[in-house]
């Protein structure tokens, strides 16, 4: 312990000394040099020249300069001692370069828009180092990590954590080769101790779980099912040829003793990220009208100059506070001309939906639903195993429960009317909740807590109603009897699919229930509980429901009523979605797998729901206007006014990327597109070269519509009036092909 304290004190002393030295260096540079002031007259447009500039906050830049911005190679020194030397592109850190922290830590490698992105090496002040692939400040791809305590990892990373195949070597001689997930040993792998003992088999969250074999150097072994829970532990000792007696050995010693020496080192954290050190360029201040796009003689947009007057992106030093942030997370579009052709988009002041309070027509139904959920989830059940018997999926596997107002042996008294509650395939959905890592207590609190549900009217034509929990985690949808039958029919295939592919994009189902009111009405209300894809602390600025068809696929709202809560459709889409290579490859594989499942189950009419949050000022220049055809007048529009809130949330958590996965909180880029005026039904517009950094969410929804007689008649009727390829109601095989073709055109690899 004393050695560790001594090591820590030595590190702290080293950091303090390096910070003092860095600040002295900065002061000496500023006082010794005679530099040009930033307000002096600029050279002609497009001319690259060499400058030395002291910025208003005392920062210093020396290097190539063009149109009032760093462009080329240059060195930037912040007053807190941070320094960057390398490539710049129109005011942004771009290309190869080196970033140095006051502590002595460095990153040398590739940058993209200020982010560590590409191949690079981070060397920490404590001796930590990582050499490999980065994506938006996070270790992502192949990489080698050397820890300050002497540990070593080589293998795959995802969003800042070990994930995939990799080898971890401890300083005490122990090593693990195998699969990882979210920074922990997970999947199949082999660990070997320095004394020659080894374990090979299944792992879960850093511990042996499932089938595995523990071997001794003499050849004897223990084979069985492993678990930290003694009740689940079961196995057989197999002696070697030379061994005659069974040793007095408890398998739990592996958990209690052996794995104590196998802690994963957390590694060194960066005090501040390069992407947070965004300089403020005076030439881009408010009142500068260079932010408006200009038409060149050939009719193309001049994107060489752009304005950052939408938001103060001043350099944020360690300890600085952003007292000038207005806190607005919404994307606001302002009319830029008297023509008024562009709508205004404002963040709704109220949350979506109507709170179901006493007096609401569905107040009793909500109480019944909450009572039923509390009863179903809270009811004791057997230990959950992921290997379910076929009988658990039987459509007849359902449980009816009576809820009299005065209460019963199994139900509490309540203020609602007498009703009956039905659980469909309760064991299957209980197991699905475990598979999706849903805690039973949190689930009940979200749905059955003191806060009321909120009712949303259906955005589609089904007539269904949607109810959101107060924390936005879960969505409850009323469904028809036919949809219940479809879900029960496809449940075995659905279960096997989501179990096999954890990155599946299909809707997550948590429960299927029915409320039957007693008395003269005898009304039945069936509903399914699903995960809310767009549950996030980020403001969703745009959302699209995409099918790949064109007939009727535009919003019915006038432009003046479109806001961030509006669900837009295929003909409203005016973006291409650009994913980093590894994400794009995984996305393509998963869309194919999910569509194969839906096609096999004769499902059609599903959609890809896409939502995104704008992260920063667009580069080089953009219009955020959304019109039903995406044909905004570029000559008269301005760029959106964005806050930095979302940017800060991601940047401030460089190692907090565990919530990032396929379709959830994904950093990405989108490119603006424009449709040709003469092609009103053109699904995909022409790329404009205008890009935005976004946080992206997407998933496949509405997967309970099969190709029944109603849809076949709809197809026959509409085919006589419209182009058969443009309508939604088509055969599942044709629907799947058209859906994939469309999705793989609007989602592309970001090169």
- Residue at 379 is within a domain: yes
Whether 482 and 558 map to the same domain: the answer is no
Domain range holding 453? 354-532
- Residue at 686 is within a domain: yes
CATH number (domain holding residue 421): 3.30.800.10
Q: Which two tokens stand for residue 443?
A: 């689930």
111-78-38 Cα angle (round to 5): 100
Whether 556 and 607 map to the same domain: the answer is yes
Q: Which H or E run includes 602?
A: none
Of the candidates 230, 261, 292, which is a domain's last residue? 261
Name, in order, each residue with C-beta under 8 angstroms of 129's C-beta and a sequence gap of 6 or more: 121, 122, 123, 145, 146
Q: Which of 51-58's residues contact partners 24+ apart within 8 Å by CB, and which partners?
A: 54/30, 55/279, 55/280, 55/282, 56/280, 56/282, 57/280, 57/314, 57/315, 58/30
- Residue at 142 is within a domain: no
Contact 160, 180 (CB under 8 A): no
Q: How far, in whole angstroms, is CA 524 from its chain's centroid?
A: 37
- Residue at 684 is within a domain: yes
- Measured CA to CA, the distance from residue 318 to residue 271 in angstroms comes to 8
Residue 154, CB-side half-sphere exposure with 13 Å CA sphere: 2
Q: Which two tokens stand for residue 55?
A: 């910025």
Q: Which H or E run includes 307?
A: none
Beta strands, E only, 101-246:
106-112, 115-123, 129-135, 138-146, 152-158, 161-169, 175-181, 184-192, 198-204, 207-215, 221-226, 234-238
Of the candidates 517, 532, 547, which is a domain's last residue? 532
At 146 the pLDDT is 92
pTM over 0.75: no
Q: 243, exposed or middle or buried, with CB in 10 Å at 0-12, 13-18, 19+?
A: middle
Cis preceding-peptide flag for 206 (omega within 30 of 0): no
Residue 428, CB-side half-sphere exposure with 13 Å CA sphere: 30
Please choose, from the candidates 419, 528, 539, the residue with its C-alpha nearest in 3D space to the C-alpha of residue 466: 528
Residue carrying the six token digits 């305590």? 149
Return the sign of the alpha-carbon dihedral for residues 20, 25, 28, 33: negative
Q: Which H or E run includes 609?
A: strand 607-614
Whether 705 and 589 map to the same domain: the answer is yes
Contact 105, 83 (CB under 8 A): no
Please choose, from the candidates 120, 167, 357, the residue with its C-alpha nearest in 3D space to the C-alpha of residue 264: 167
Q: Which two tokens stand for residue 516?
A: 């039957």
CATH number (domain holding residue 546): 3.30.810.10
Whether 562 and 689 map to the same domain: the answer is yes
Per DSSP, 619 falls in state B
Please count the structural domains in the chain. Answer: 4
672: left (phi over 0), alpha (psi -120 to 50) or beta: beta
Q: Are strands 575-579 and 747-749 parallel, antiparallel or unpaired?
A: parallel
- Measured CA to CA, the distance from residue 441 to residue 216 in angstroms comes to 42
Q: Which H or E run includes 51?
A: strand 49-54
Contact 183, 162 (CB under 8 A): yes
Q: Please, where are the H alpha helices in 417-469?
A: 426-435, 440-448
Residue carrying the six token digits 């965004």? 278
Please spell the DSSP secondary structure of 92-139, one letter per residue. EEEEEEEEE-TTS-EEEEEEETTEEEEEEEEE-TTS-EEEEEEETTEE
Q: 383, exposed or middle or buried, with CB in 10 Å at 0-12, 13-18, 19+?
A: exposed
Residue carrying the six token digits 């992106």? 313
Whether 524 and 558 map to the same domain: the answer is no
Whether 523 and 426 map to the same domain: the answer is yes
Per DSSP, 648 falls in state H
Reduced to 3 states, what is the DSSP secondary structure of residue 400?
A: strand
Please choose, from the candidates 326, 356, 341, 325, the residue with its C-alpha nearest in 3D space to the C-alpha of residue 457: 356
Residue carrying the six token digits 């401890």? 170
- Measured CA to CA, the distance from residue 228 to residue 186 in angstroms comes to 15
Tally of CB atoms within 10 A around 420: 17
Residue carrying the six token digits 């429901």? 545
Contact 739, 605 (CB under 8 A): no
Q: What is the dihedral of CA 125, 130, 134, 139, to 10 degrees?
A: -100
- Residue at 634 is within a domain: no
Whether 389 and 501 map to the same domain: the answer is yes
**Which residues, listed in sequence order, are joined to residue 403 by a DSSP beta bridge?**
419
Whether 735 and 668 map to the same domain: the answer is yes
Contact 369, 527 (CB under 8 A): yes
Per DSSP, 186 falls in state E
Q: Which two tokens stand for residue 499?
A: 């179990």
Please choose, from the candidates 512, 739, 464, the residue with its C-alpha nearest in 3D space to the C-alpha of residue 605: 739
At 723 the pLDDT is 61
**Which residues, listed in sequence order, are joined to residue 74 by a DSSP beta bridge?**
63, 86
Whether 114 and 217 map to the same domain: the answer is no
Please spell the DSSP secondary structure of 463-483, one letter per residue. ---EEE-TTSSEEEEEE-HHH
> CA 736 → CA 219, 723, 732, distances in Å?
54, 18, 6
- Measured CA to CA, the distance from residue 634 to residue 332 in angstroms comes to 17
Whether 387 and 493 map to the same domain: the answer is yes
At 113 the pLDDT is 80
- Measured CA to CA, the distance from residue 610 to residue 544 in angstroms comes to 5
- Residue at 277 is within a domain: no
Name, in order, each residue with C-beta under 8 angstroms of 39's C-beta and a sequence gap of 6 or more: 282
CATH number (domain holding residue 174): 2.20.110.10
- Residue at 176 is within a domain: yes
Whether 405 and 519 map to the same domain: the answer is yes
Q: Which two tokens stand for residue 292?
A: 């408006």
- Residue at 3 is within a domain: no
Of the candidates 532, 552, 587, which is a domain's last residue? 532
Strands of 575-579's sheet in order across: 567-568, 542-546, 607-614, 686-701, 666-674, 575-579, 747-749
Mean pLDDT by 10 residues, the chain (751 residues): 49 53 47 42 69 84 89 90 90 90 92 88 90 88 91 90 91 91 90 89 89 88 85 82 67 81 84 78 43 37 33 30 32 32 44 77 84 84 82 88 83 83 92 91 85 71 79 90 93 94 94 84 86 88 86 73 82 90 92 94 91 66 35 38 42 47 90 78 81 92 79 62 63 89 92 77
Whether 89 and 115 map to the same domain: the answer is yes
């Amino acid at each position: 312990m004393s050695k560790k304290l001594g090591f820590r004190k030595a590190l702290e002393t080293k950091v303090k000394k390096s910070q003092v030295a860095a600040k002295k260096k900065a002061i000496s540079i500023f006082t010794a040099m005679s530099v040009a002031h930033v307000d002096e007259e600029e050279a002609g447009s497009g001319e690259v020249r060499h400058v030395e500039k002291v910025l208003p906050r005392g920062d210093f830049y020396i290097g190539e300069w063009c149109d009032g911005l760093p462009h080329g190679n240059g060195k930037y020194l912040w007053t807190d001692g941070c320094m960057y030397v390398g490539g710049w592109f129109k005011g942004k850190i771009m290309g190869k370069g080196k970033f140095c922290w006051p502590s002595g830590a460095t990153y040398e490698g590739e940058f993209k828009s200020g982010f560590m992105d590409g191949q690079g090496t981070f060397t920490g002040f404590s001796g930590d180092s990582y050499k490999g692939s980065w994506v938006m400040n996070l270790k992502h791809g192949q990489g080698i990590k050397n820890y300050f305590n002497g540990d070593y990892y080589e293998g795959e990373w995802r969003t800042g954590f070990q994930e995939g195949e990799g080898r971890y070597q401890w300083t005490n001689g122990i090593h693990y080769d195998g699969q990882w997930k979210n920074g922990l040993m997970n999947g199949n792998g082999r660990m070997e101790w320095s004394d020659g003992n080894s374990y090979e088999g299944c792992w879960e969250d850093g511990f042996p779980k499932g089938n595995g074999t523990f071997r001794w150097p003499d050849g004897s072994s223990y084979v069985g099912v492993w678990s930290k829970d003694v009740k689940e532990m079961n196995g057989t000792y197999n002696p070697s040829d030379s061994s005659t007696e069974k040793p007095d050995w408890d398998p739990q010693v592996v958990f209690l003793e052996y794995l104590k020496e196998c802690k994963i080192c957390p590694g060194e954290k960066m005090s501040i990220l390069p992407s947070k050190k965004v300089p403020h360029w005076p030439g881009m201040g408010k009142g500068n009208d260079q932010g408006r796009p200009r038409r060149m003689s050939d009719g193309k947009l001049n994107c060489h100059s752009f304005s950052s007057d939408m938001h103060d992106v001043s350099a944020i030093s360690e300890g600085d506070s952003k007292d000038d942030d207005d806190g607005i997370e919404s994307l606001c579009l302002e009319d830029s001309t008297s023509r008024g052709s562009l709508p205004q988009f404002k963040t709704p002041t109220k949350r979506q939906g109507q709170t179901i309070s006493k007096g609401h027509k569905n107040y009793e139904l909500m109480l019944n639903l909450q009572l039923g959920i509390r009863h179903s989830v809270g009811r004791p059940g057997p230990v959950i195993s992921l290997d379910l018997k076929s009988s658990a999926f039987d459509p007849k596997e359902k449980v009816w429960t009576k809820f009299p107002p005065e209460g019963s042996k199994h139900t509490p008294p309540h203020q609602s009317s007498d009703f009956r509650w039905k659980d469909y395939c309760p064991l299957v959905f209980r197991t699905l909740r475990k598979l999706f890592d849903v805690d039973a207590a949190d689930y009940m609190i979200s749905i059955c807590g003191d806060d009321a549900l909120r009712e949303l009217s259906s955005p589609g034509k089904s007539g269904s109603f949607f109810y959101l929990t107060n924390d936005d985690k879960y969505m409850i949808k009323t469904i028809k009897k036919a949809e219940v039958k479809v879900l029960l029919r496809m449940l075995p295939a659905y279960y096997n699919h989501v179990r096999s592919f954890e990155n599946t994009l299909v809707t997550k189902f948590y429960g299927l229930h029915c409320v039957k009111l007693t008395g003269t009405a005898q009304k039945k209300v069936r509903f399914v509980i699903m995960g809310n894809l767009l549950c996030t602390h980020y403001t969703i600025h745009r959302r699209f429901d995409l099918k790949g068809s064109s007939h009727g696929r535009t919003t019915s709202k006038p432009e003046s009523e479109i806001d961030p809560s509006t669900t837009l459709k295929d003909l409203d889409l005016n973006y291409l979605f650009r994913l980093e290579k590894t994400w794009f490859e995984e996305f393509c594989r998963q869309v194919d797998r999910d569509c194969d499942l839906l096609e096999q189950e004769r499902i059609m009419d599903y959609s890809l729901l896409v939502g995104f949050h704008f992260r920063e000022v667009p580069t080089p220049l953009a219009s955020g206007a959304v019109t039903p055809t995406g044909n905004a007048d570029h000559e008269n529009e301005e760029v959106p006014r964005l806050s930095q809130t979302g940017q800060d949330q991601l940047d401030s958590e460089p190692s907090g990327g565990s919530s990032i996965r396929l379709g959830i909180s994904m950093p990405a880029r989108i490119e603006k597109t424009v449709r040709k005026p003469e092609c009103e039904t053109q699904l995909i517009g022409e790329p404009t070269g205008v890009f935005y950094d976004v946080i992206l969410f997407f998933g496949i929804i509405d997967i309970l519509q099969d190709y029944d007689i109603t849809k076949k008649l709809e197809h026959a009727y509409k085919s006589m009036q419209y182009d058969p390829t443009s309508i939604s109601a088509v055969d599942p095989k044709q629907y799947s092909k058209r859906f994939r073709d469309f999705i793989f055109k609007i989602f592309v690899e970001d090169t």
